[in-house]
Amino acid sequence: MSTENLQPTEETLDPNNWNEIRALGHQMIDDMIDYLQGLSNKPVWQQPTAEVKEILNRSLPKEGQPAEEIYQEFLSYILPYNKGNIHPRFFAWVQGNGTPLGMLADMLASGMNPNTTIGDHAAMYVEQQVIEWSKEMFGFPESASGLLVSGATMANLTALTTARNSLQDLQIRVKGTDNKLTVYCSAETHICVIKATEVLGIGSERTRIIPVTDTFQINVPALVTKIKEDIEAGFRPFCVVGNAGTVNTGAIDPLEELYQICQEFGLWFHIDGAFGSLAKLTPSFSEKLKTIEKADSLAFDFHKWLHVPYESACVLIRDKKLHQAAFSSVPNYLSAHERGLAAGPEPLTNYGIELSRSFKALKVWMSLKEHGILKYGRLVQQNINQAEYLGEKVSKAMNLELLVPISMNIVCFRFNDGAHTEEALNQLNKEILMRLHESGIAAPSYTIIHGKYAIRANITNHRTRLEDLDLLVNTIVNIATGLLIKVVEFDTSNLKHYQAFKDINYDWINKYFKVEQGDLDSLENPVKYFIATGGAILLACRGDEILGTTALKPIGDDSLELCKMGVSEAARGLGIGYAIGEAAITKAKESGAKRLYLETNSSLSPALNLYKKLGFSQVKNFTSPYVRADVAMEMYL
Q: What CATH number does the domain containing 392 carry? A: 3.90.1150.170
Residue 310's pLDDT is 96
Residue 5's pLDDT is 66
Out of 36, 67, 84, pick the residue that ends a domain: 84
Between CA 152 and CA 160 the distance in angstroms is: 12
Parent domain of 258: 121-327+346-359
Q: Looking at the predicted structure, is the pLDDT value of residue 279 above 80?
A: yes
Q: Looking at the predicted structure, is the pLDDT value of residue 316 above 80?
A: yes
Indicate the SS3 state at residue 335: coil
Same domain, 181 and 240: yes
pTM, two decimal places: 0.86
Q: Looking at the predicted structure, is the pLDDT value of residue 1 above 60?
A: no
Between CA 575 and CA 37 the distance in angstroms is: 31
Out of 63, 84, 105, pick the residue that ends a domain: 84
CB 604 within 8 A of CB 494: no
Q: Let me know if residue 78 belongs to a domain.
A: yes
Q: Which amino acid is at 293?
A: E
Same domain, 507 and 565: yes
Q: Let me know if residue 627 belongs to a domain.
A: yes
Mean predicted confidence (pLDDT) in 139-161: 98
Q: Let me know if residue 91 belongs to a domain.
A: no
Residue 572's pLDDT is 84
Between CA 498 and CA 459 the distance in angstroms is: 47
Same domain, 519 and 631: yes
φ, ψ for residue 264, nearest 5 deg: -65, -40
The CATH number of residue 558's host domain is 3.40.630.30
pLDDT above 90 covers a percentage of the chain that reads 92
φ, ψ for residue 78, nearest 5 deg: -120, -55
Mean predicted confidence (pLDDT) in 495-517: 96
The CATH number of residue 53's host domain is 1.20.1340
H or E stretch covering 369:
helix 361-396
Same domain, 147 and 47: no
Q: Please give the DSSP secondary-structure letter assigned to residue 290.
A: G
Q: Let me know if residue 115 belongs to a domain.
A: no
pLDDT tier at 426, thresholds 50, 70, 90? very high
Q: Let me know if residue 111 belongs to a domain.
A: no
Residue 375's pLDDT is 98
Same domain, 189 and 290: yes
Same domain, 508 and 607: yes
Q: Looking at the predicted structure, is the pLDDT value of residue 6 above 80?
A: no
Tell me which of 557 and 25 has the higher pLDDT: 25
Q: Please give the DSSP secondary-structure letter assigned to residue 248.
A: T
Number of structural domains in the chain: 4
Spatial strand order of the sheet with 297-301 comes to 145-149, 313-317, 297-301, 268-272, 236-243, 181-186, 207-210
Print the SS3 string covering 100-132. HHHHHHHHHHHHHCCCECECCCHHHHHHHHHHH
Tell me which of 134 and 570 has the higher pLDDT: 134
CB 444 within 8 A of CB 390: no
First to last CA, the chain: 74
List 549's β-bridge partners, or say none. 539, 566
Print the SS3 string covering 494-553. CHHHHHHHHHHHHHHHHHHCCCCHHHHHHHHCHHHHHHCCCCEEEEEEECCEEEEEEEEE
pLDDT digit string, tens, across residues 573-622: 888 999 999 999 999 999 999 999 999 999 999 999 999 999 999 999 99
Which residue in 107, 146, 73, 179 sits closest to 366, CA to CA? 107
Same domain, 632 and 528: yes
Q: Let me know if residue 306 belongs to a domain.
A: yes
With vertex at residue 289, the alpha carbon angle to CA 284 and CA 293, rounded to the nearest 5 degrees, is 140
Same domain, 178 and 300: yes
Q: Let me know if residue 377 belongs to a domain.
A: no
Which residue in 496, 409, 516, 503 sits closest to 457, CA to CA? 409
Between CA 616 and CA 596 the distance in angstroms is: 8
- Residue 308, C-beta contacts closer than 8 angstroms, at least 6 positions apart: 96, 98, 99, 102, 302, 363, 364, 367
